[in-house]
Amino acid sequence: MGSSVFKPLIHLSTITNYPYVDFIFVTFAVLFIINAVTTFYRLLKMRWASEKAFADFPIENRHPIFGHVLLVKLNSEETIQDIAERADIFPYTDQLWLGPFHALLICYHPDTMKPVLSSSEPKDEFTYGMVKPWLGDVLLISKGSKWFRNRRLLTPGFHFDILRPYVHIFNECTHTMMDKWMKQYDNGMIEMFEHVSLMTLDSLMKCIFSIETHCQTEVSTNPYITAVYELSEMVVNRINFPPYFSDLIFHLTYSGYKWRRALRQVHGHSKTVIHQRKQALEEQKELGIKHKRKYIDFLDILLEARDENGKGLTDQEIQDEVDTFMFEGHDTTASGISWILYNIAKHTEHQRKCQEEIDELMEQKDKDVIEWDDLSKLPYLTMCIKESLQLHPPVPFIGRKLSKPIEMPSPTGNGKVTIPAGERIGLPIIGLHHNPHVWEDPEVYNPLRFTPENSKGRSPHAYLPFSAGPR
Ligand code: HEM
């Protein structure tokens, strides 16, 4: 091709041609103004729609521009206090405005959470969208038929027979952590969260990929683990810093650069492991060799999953689900376990009873190790765990965006109010658990609220550390 074909539309010399520059500038300015006006009008319509939809529900000191952003304290123990106070004043629902346009109807009560959670309304893209570049359109985020199909394909992964051998993995990983504590901290205090978090990552790497990373003992050597850590931390930082809600602003910052770098690392790792496992499986098939590992890991489940038409998950879907389970599985469990240890350390009377229960069970067994069947024989410990998840739920807040209207109990207690499609509903699990109209002395660590007698007559939607309903 001759170079003349590629004559640039704007030659450098024309830059000095003022009318030409003026024309470009004016065009851009007009397009920019049109875009800004239509966006502003769309946002205004959203504001009016939410104001109309939530008109019957109480609202507290809303600033016309900032909404409640200046009042809501994020990322601290104060947040719990704040949400509990709101639940005390507004036992069922109130409105939360994040700036001038984005509103959520916040539910604090089993009666208002139930209608939302009983349906399979989609997750709110506003918050869940922040993890989408990492996880893809997966079980956690997806909706409709895609969610339904993948949920069905993944359900075998939670069968007892699959989970049973994992207890040995958890024991092994916990022993590694305990050995570390015995060696390093025989007299001092332990900042345990990081250790517990590495232990849960170690467990997951074995349960998901059957990979031994030694991440508990060689902390900084595994780039995949480091990247998973970085991404989890950045998701939380982003949610806690409103300017980072904007993709454009976030990606222009150093955090945005680190996010992209960590994403490349995590996706690259998952791709490689999936590819290697597929090759190994094909070789085994050709040679007629059966499964060699002691247990079926999550990757096996995903690779072997088939729908009613015999169709499996694509490589991209497998990668996304693996990444999701790494994300969903490590921080939640690390937070849950750390709080349990904290609570029983603070309330030694309960700790002593847990210890006695475990000692008694061990005396009856010939092995000095907890196994799957033992888990149901530890009712006191189970109550202590439940109570810890009650006070400190690892997933404190979930959200939905309505795809169809739903009926909600009226805040006055008389009849129902219909919330139209398109509105966002916030479900602060932590607010429900600390709601004094639902729980007696919600701030007190009291495992006995979970005895069978004390649980009688309680709404199944009063205690939701793992959420409820189809999701
Ligand atoms: C103490 C530990 C855990 C807690 C408290 C917890 C809590 C939750 C909650 C509240 C939800 C609902 C989220 C929503 O509605 O938006 C959820 C969903 C989910 N969790 Fe967990 N989780 C825990 C551990 C795990 C683990 C270990 C895994 C996997 C290895 C996992 C995988 C998932 C997945 C895939 C979903 C999405 C389900 C769906 O929408 O169909 N979670 N979890």
Q: How far is CA 179 from CA 172, 186, 214, 221, 258, in A?
A: 11, 11, 14, 20, 33
Task: Give residue 4's pLDDT band: very low, low, confident or very high (50, 70, 90).
Answer: very low
- Helices H, strands E: what count in the chain? 18, 6
Record the tokens describing residue 87, joined without a space.
């639940």
Task: Give residue 152's pLDDT band: very low, low, confident or very high (50, 70, 90).
Answer: confident
Q: What is the reported pLDDT for 3?
A: 45
Q: How far is CA 187 from CA 180, 184, 190, in A?
A: 13, 9, 10
150 lines ligand 1 (CB under 6 A): no
Q: What is the reported pLDDT for 226?
A: 84
Nearest CA to ligand 1 atom 7: 466
pLDDT > 90 fraction of the chain, expressed in percent and rounded: 44
Q: What is the reported pLDDT for 330?
A: 86
| Whether the Cβ atoms of residue 429 and residue 397 lie closer than 8 Å to each other | yes
The residue to which tokens 């847990």 are assigned = 354
Tell me: pLDDT of 15 over 80.
no
- CA nearest 324: which of 104, 80, 131, 112? 131
How far is ligand 1, taken at its centre, from the CA of residue 466, in Å? 6
How far is ligand 1, taken at its centre, from the CA of residue 223, in Å? 25
Q: Does domain 134-346 have CATH number 3.40.50.920?
A: no
Tell me: pLDDT of 11 over 60.
no
Nearest CA to ligand 1 atom 1: 333
User: What number is the average pLDDT over the span 30-36?
Assistant: 88
User: What number is the average pLDDT over the span 364-386?
Assistant: 92
467 CA: nearest ligand 1 atom: 10
142 CA: nearest ligand 1 atom: 40
324 CA: nearest ligand 1 atom: 35
Which of 77-81, 128-132, 404-408, 444-448 bottoms out in mean pLDDT, i.e. has the lowest?
77-81
432-442, pLDDT tens digit by residue? 999 999 999 99
How far is ligand 1, taken at its centre, from the CA of residue 395, in Å? 8
Q: How many CB atoms lie within 10 A of CB 303?
A: 16
| Whether the Cβ atoms of residue 93 and residue 59 lie closer than 8 Å to each other | no
Rounded Cα distance, 55 and 419, in Å: 10
467 lines ligand 1 (CB under 6 A): yes
396-426, pLDDT tens digit by residue? 989 999 999 999 998 877 789 999 999 999 9
Nearest CA to ligand 1 atom 26: 329
How far is ligand 1, taken at its centre, from the CA of residue 7, in Å? 57
88 lines ligand 1 (CB under 6 A): no
140 lines ligand 1 (CB under 6 A): yes
148 lines ligand 1 (CB under 6 A): no
State whether residue 185 is helix, strand or coil.
Answer: coil
Q: What is the reported pLDDT for 221?
A: 65
Q: What is the reported pLDDT for 16?
A: 57
User: What number is the average pLDDT over the span 223-239?
Assistant: 83
Q: How far is CA 262 from CA 139, 225, 318, in A?
A: 22, 10, 19
Please report how many Cα atoms fall inside a 13 Å half-sphere around the Cα of residue 60, on the Cβ side.
17
Nearest CA to ligand 1 atom 37: 140
How far is ligand 1, taken at its centre, from the CA of residue 190, in Å? 28
Strands 416-419 and 93-98: unpaired
Task: Give residue 2's pLDDT band: very low, low, confident or very high (50, 70, 90).
Answer: very low
59-115, pLDDT tens digit by residue? 988 888 888 877 776 556 677 778 888 899 999 999 999 888 889 999 999 999 999
| Whether the Cβ atoms of residue 69 and residue 242 lie closer than 8 Å to each other | yes
Q: How many CB atoms lie within 10 A of CB 96?
A: 22
Nearest CA to ligand 1 atom 17: 466
Q: What is the reported pLDDT for 291?
A: 65
352-355 LR contacts (CB < 8 Å, sep 24+): 353/380, 354/378, 354/380, 354/381, 354/384
Q: Where in the chain is the domain with CATH 1.10.630.10?
A: 134-346
| Whether the Cβ atoms of residue 449 and residue 387 lie closer than 8 Å to each other | yes
172-216, pLDDT tens digit by residue? 999 999 998 888 766 677 788 889 999 999 999 999 989 888 889
- CA nearest 150: which of 38, 316, 350? 316
- CA nearest 304: which of 326, 277, 335, 286? 277
Task: Give residue 385's pLDDT band: very low, low, confident or very high (50, 70, 90).
Answer: very high
Nearest CA to ligand 1 atom 41: 471
122 lines ligand 1 (CB under 6 A): no
Tell me: pLDDT of 17 over 70.
no
Q: What is the reported pLDDT for 136?
A: 81
How far is ligand 1, taken at its centre, from the CA of residue 325, in Å? 9
